[in-house]
Amino acid sequence: MIGRALLAGHAVQIADAKDDPLYHGEAENDARSMLGVPLLRDGAAVGGIGLARKRVEPFTPKQVELVTTFADQAVIAMENARLITETREALEQQTATAEVLGVINASPGNLAPVFDAMLAKAIRLCDAELGQLLTYQGGCFHVASLHGGTPAFIEFMRRGPINPGPDTGLARLARELRVVHVEDLAAHEAYRQRDPLRVASVELAGMRTFLAVPLLKGDTLTRR
């Protein structure tokens, strides 16, 4: 019923589901008279309201109008919630940026607290569980800051320069100099080929979705 309303872009009724060819033998919970009203934002459907009666009694025009009003109010509420969320997120990002700048000003020449603050803010704002900030020198990555992860994974990362295999996200980052997003680390070739970094990431740290962002100086990778 809701599907019909979404396609039509307006309220749609079924007088008796048992007489409707698409509901024949499939009406749930003995539903008979049914009403579907779309939630429309700028002419596009974003949801719907469905009502049903267990008796044959079509909904009156006044009832349809009432449910349509509720649908319009629901769209307004959804839009208000979206705007509030966007405003809150923007404020959180501005606050985080200001806090990092404060750390930079308070720690001239000392990069460790700056990197730690940047990474901590990125993890919190992106709702991640763990993160790494690495420097890139001599074709290898070096740990500058780590947040989260198991002791075994932290030990692996701090063991020495990281030379990622060609199919890993870090290798792509160094090669392509752009943001790299891997939806599932365990589903990629690097894991099937048992690349040490990928195996450690998945099996020691429990990583699955991975986002890598380069810090560039000109067209040269300096930090991640």
Is 118 part of a structural domain of the chain? no
Alpha-carbon gap, residue 164 to 133, rounded angstroms: 15
pLDDT at 106 (0 to 100): 79
Is 180 part of a structural domain of the chain? yes
pLDDT at 36 (0 to 100): 95
Is 87 part of a structural domain of the chain? no
Are 136 and 70 within one domain? no
Domain count, the chain: 2
pLDDT in tens, 69-109: 999 999 999 999 988 888 888 888 888 788 878 877 877 77
Is 111 part of a structural domain of the chain? no
Is 103 part of a structural domain of the chain? no
State how far the alpha carbon of 14 is from the alpha carbons of 53, 63, 69, 217, in Å: 11, 14, 20, 64
Left, alpha or beta for 138 (phi > 0: left; psi -120 to 50: alpha)?
left
Q: What is the pLDDT along the chain (224 residues), one digit of tens a residue?
A: 889 999 999 999 999 988 888 776 555 568 899 999 999 999 899 999 999 999 999 999 999 999 999 999 999 999 999 888 888 888 888 887 888 788 778 777 788 888 898 899 889 888 999 999 999 988 899 999 999 989 999 999 998 899 989 989 999 999 999 999 999 999 989 999 999 999 999 999 999 999 999 988 876 776 44
Alpha-carbon gap, residue 197 to 140, rounded angstroms: 12
Are 154 and 214 within one domain? yes
Domain containing 147 equals 126-223
Is 114 part of a structural domain of the chain? no
Are 58 and 145 within one domain? no
Are 62 and 133 within one domain? no
Burial 181-201 (b: 16+ CB within 10 A, else e): ebeebeebebbeeebebbbbb
Is 8 part of a structural domain of the chain? yes
Is residue 80 a contact partner of residue 113, using CB atoms and an 8 Å limit? no
Is 106 part of a structural domain of the chain? no
Query: For position 199, which CATH number holds?
Result: 3.30.450.40
